[in-house]
Chains A and B, each alone.
Chain A
Amino acid sequence: MNARVLNFLGLGLVGIVGVAFLVLTPRLAELDTVLDLTIYMIMAILALSLALIWGYGGILCFGQSAFFGLGAYTYAIAMFNIGDSTVPLLLAIVLPAAFAALLGYFMFYGRISDVYLGVITLTVTLILFNSVNSTAGPEFHIGVARLGGFNGIPGIPPLNYPGNKAAVIDLEGMFYLSTAALLATYFGLRLLLASRFGRIIVGIRENERRAELLGYDPRAYKLVTFTIGGALAGFAGCLFANWGNFVSPTIFGLAQSAQIIIWVIVGGRGTLIGPIVGCIGVQWLSAALGANQPSGSDWWARLLANVPLILGIILVAFVLLVPKGLVPTLGDFGLWLVRSRGRRVATSLKPKQAEEG
């Protein structure tokens, strides 16, 4: 069983499970559940965008929410002004990508690294938060779309079939779109990472100096990676705006940024499945914990419903105890199991051979 075969099997499994999930869920589940699952799909795409940038590219981005928010806001504003969703959808991908490219150029060609990248990206998302949050008056508008400040932008029109304004997407349609988009993103990223480009960015993550000494320009590779990640996050933002038909400045906030990072850490930094699992897991857990708002003196229940408290404990626990994240750790555990079983099988064969020999 060599690595390549295992790899293909894994991909095949994901494909089968994914398509089954896509097709069966709306038939088997309540509309409520489908709505919940849709947001998990959308956030998983967001998680993958950071997995690419950070997990594979080694770029510590504390402000991934900036691109997410820009995508959502761009879609909303463009949609109000244009009416047909084809261009807004494209803009929601292109604008965050362009912003990422600009920011990336500023950072990577300025040789800023590590911690300082984290600080700058964090600061950028905070600037966006502060700026957008204060645009509450009617004087703040782009075309016919009011920015709304801390009130946000409600009533965002949903996507429609290109060219046909009347054929808008419905709840089920959103689910199909988001799940298909997630699958496309996953397989697309797997392809990218297996390509020449993907192997080079991993090399740059491992040892930037050595990659440089080999003739690869790390600045350019990081810029492209960062831009792709920004585009993906922007796309997720557009889907998000469609899911809730509402967007507010909290999308740029520290809490949102923290969430994305927690998903990737909990799930596992060096993989793609990991952050998907981490995202869905943590989101589901937060929802489950926060769902019952218990009152009175049941302090244990109140403790569990305290989402920041529990998330904080999870984050600290994972950094201290499971630093590689869930999926790689489970993977290592699985490998260890397989190897030790293999040894036991091998030793049990020996006496038989001796008898026959």
Chain B
Amino acid sequence: MAAPLLQTRDLSMRFGGVQAVRSVNFSLEEGELRCLIGPNGAGKSTFFKMLTGQLQPSEGQVLFRGRDISYAHAHQIARLGIGIKTQVPNVFDGLSVRENIWLAANRIHSGERADNVVDEMLERLGLTGVAKRLVGQLAHGQRQWVELGIVLSTDPELILLDEPAAGMTYEEVHKTAQLVREINRSKALIVVEHDMQFIRMIAKQVTVFNQGSVLVEDAVENILRNPLVRDIYLGKQAAA
């Protein structure tokens, strides 16, 4: 069996006295789309940050294509082919949309090729009209899309999205879901989300976090019917 694209072994994170992530074993195949859900404080964000290099694990490993990236710097991880979209949009607010995308494209293309890639990306995301505007002046939904454009322009193999649908209108959520499904045709994705509507639009496999560990991993239809999952969201102690 081929090695998974991304894997974690007994991954743990402890902050002072708090065990935020406990011994998580996770794996993602090439081209797979996985959603991470779970109530607030379940450890999804912390787990996510260990994948992106923003946090270094207290214990355990993160492996990308079999290679240990547990202690790699964020920029090294990005160079391995992992694209990251953060929860709070991290874009270059003082620069134009075009310049934002260029900075991403420039990492793997040069000169005229980079400019062409930028034009294509703007076209694909419907941002050609606002190409010259400063990103800081755009509406929230558009800023999220600029960030998606930035992430896609480095042509990563694996894309990590942290709440891509946050703060969006229903229209925008729909468009984003469409885009994510399209991206999934050639790339693997891990999506952390709260928005159940969005999850239903994109998901096949879902991993549910609770109190730092994986509660259950299953297909999306089963997850939504699973009483354990309902319980953790509604606050009741799950019956044994």
> Do A213 and B93 touch (CB < 8 A)?
no
- Does residue B84 face the partner (Cβ distance < 8 Å to A)? yes
A215 and B79 contact, Cβ closer than 8 Å, known pairs A203-B103, A209-B90, A210-B90: yes
Question: Once bound together, how far apart are the Cα atoms of A213 and B73, in whole Å?
Answer: 10
> How far is B74's CA from A65's CA once the two chains are assembled, in angstroms?
34
- Whole-angstrom distance from the CB of B185 to the nearest CB of chain A? 23
In this assembly, does A183 line the interface, its C-beta being within 8 Å of a C-beta of chain B? Answer: no
User: Which residues of chain A are near B73, meaning CB under 8 Å?
Assistant: 212, 217
Inside 8 A of B99's CB, which chain A residues have their CB?
Answer: 199, 203
Chain B residue at minimum C-beta to C-beta distance from A200:
B103
- Which residues of B lie under 8 Å from residue A196 when comparing CB positions? 106, 110
* Bound-state Cα–Cα, A218 to B76, Å: 11
Task: Give chain B's interface residue range (CB within 8 Å of chain A).
Answer: 20 to 34
**In whole angstroms, what is the CA distance A210 to B95 when docked?**
13
Flag if B107 contacts A216 (CB, 8 Å): yes
A211 B52 Cβ-Cβ under 8 A: no
Contacts of B52 in A (CB 8 A): 213
Instruction: Give min CB distance, B88 to chain A, whole Å.
Output: 10
Chain A residue at minimal CB-CB distance from B84: A213
Q: How far is the CA of A176 from the CA of B184 in the complex (A)?
A: 62
A207: chain B residues at CB < 8 Å are 90-93
Instruction: Check: A206 CB closer than 8 A to any chain B CB.
Output: yes
- Confirm or deny: B208 has a beta carbon within 8 angstroms of a beta carbon on chain A: no
B66 within 8 A of A: no
| Chain A residue nearest in CB terms to B104 | A214
Bound-complex Cα distance A206 to B107 (A): 17
CA distance A203 to B104 in the complex (A): 10
Partner of A210, one of B91, B106, B107: B91
- For A199, the chain B residues whose CB sits under 8 A away are 99, 102-103, 106
- On whether the beta carbons of B94 and A214 are closer than 8 Å, the reply is no
Cα–Cα distance between A207 and B100 once the two chains are bound (Å):
11
- Contact between chains at A212 and B74 (CB < 8 Å): yes
- B78 adjacent to chain A (CB < 8 Å): yes
Report the minimal beta-carbon distance from B181 to chain A, rounded to whole angstroms. 23
What residues on B are CB-neighbors of A213 within 8 Å?
52, 74-75, 78, 84, 86, 90
Q: B154 an interface residue at 8 Å Cβ cutoff?
A: yes
Judged by a CB distance under 8 angstroms, whether B150 is at the interface is yes
Q: In residues 148-202 of chain B, which contact A (Cβ within 8 Å)?
A: 150, 154
- Among the listed B75, B102, B150, which residue makes an inter-chain contact with A212, where contact means beta carbons less than 8 Å apart? B75
B residues 86-122 near A (Cβ < 8 Å) are 86, 90-95, 99, 102-104, 106-107, 110
Q: Mark out the residues of chain B between 26 and 60 whose CB falls within 8 Å of any chain A CB in the assembled complex.
A: 52
Contact B86 A214 (CB under 8 A): no
Assess whether A136 is interfacial by the CB under 8 Å rule: no
Q: In the assembly, what is the distance between CA of A195 and CA of B149, in Å?
A: 22
Residues in chain A near residue B150, CB distance under 8 A = 210, 214
Contacts A212-B74, A214-B103; is A203 near B154 (CB within 8 Å)? no
Please give me the residue from chain A that is nearest to B108 by CB atom.
A215
B93 touches which of A206, A211, A217 (Cβ 8 Å) = A206
Residues in A with CB closer than 8 Å to B106 are 196, 199-200
Contact pick for A202, options B78, B95, B104, CB 8 Å? B95
Residues of chain A lying within 8 A (CB to CB) of residue B74: 209, 212-213
When chains A and B are docked, how far (Å) is the Cα of A209 from the Cα of B73? 12
- Which of B75, B102, B104, B154 contacts A218, CB < 8 Å? B75
Given contacts A214-B103, A217-B73, 5 further A-B contacts (CB under 8 A): A203-B99, A207-B92, A212-B78, A214-B104, A218-B75
Sample of 28 A–B contacts (CB below 8 Å): A196-B106, A199-B103, A200-B106, A202-B95, A203-B99, A203-B103, A206-B93, A206-B94, A206-B95, A207-B90, A207-B91, A207-B92, A207-B93, A209-B74, A209-B86, A210-B91, A211-B103, A212-B73, A212-B74, A213-B75, A213-B78, A213-B90, A214-B75, A214-B104, A214-B154, A215-B79, A216-B75, A216-B107
B contact set with A: CB distance below 8 Å: 52, 73-75, 78-79, 84, 86, 90-95, 99, 102-104, 106-107, 110, 150, 154
Pairs of residues from A and B, 8 with the lowest C-beta to C-beta distance, nearest first: A215-B78, A206-B92, A210-B90, A215-B79, A203-B103, A212-B74, A212-B75, A217-B75
